[in-house]
Amino acid sequence: MVRWTTTTFWLMLSATAGSAAELSLATAYGNQQGCAYLQSGVLDGDDLAYLTRRELGKYASGCEFVAVHADSHGNQLAQGICHFEGEDVLGAESHIIAPPDAAGAVRIFTATGEIWAELEPCS
């Protein structure tokens, strides 16, 4: 019985360990180029920025979320594994996503509190 329980635990852990984490969002967000990219898959413009339930990106750099945590005010902390334009390295970064404001836009902050982007909902 102990072996079965231990084996079951490790199987469940390994099944969830590779899963991407998701933000609690009703839609995707972006600037004009970011929303166009999410619809077409074509990178067009250096100003591109977007946010989905599973990732965020600016032009050819981005992060895939591996953990998401929320506070009692609706702010979400997204921790991601990131790739960077022109670099052959990976990194880990955290971003804080504030709940949508009255107009529906979201503000994204870096781990140090700087604004990473302010994005509108994509239609």
Tens digits of residue pLDDT in 11-27 = 343 344 456 899 999 99
Residue 49 within a domain: yes
Distance from the first to the final alpha carbon of the chain: 53
Which domain range does residue 57 map to? 20-121
**69 lies in a domain?**
yes
Q: Is position 73 within any domain?
A: yes
Report which of residues 7 and 39 the model is more confident about: 39
CA distance 54 to 66: 8
Q: Does the residue 76 lie in any domain? A: yes
Its pTM stands at 0.81
Residue 14: strand, helix, or coil = helix
**Residue 11 covered by a domain:** no
3 falls within a domain: no
Q: For 78-98, what is the mean pLDDT? A: 95
Residues contacting residue 35 through CB under 8 Å, at least 6 positions apart: 28, 29, 50, 120, 122, 123
Domain count, the chain: 1
Task: Evaluate whether residue 66 is within a structural domain.
Answer: yes
pLDDT category at 46 given cuts 50, 70, 90 is confident
Residue 4 falls inside a structural domain: no
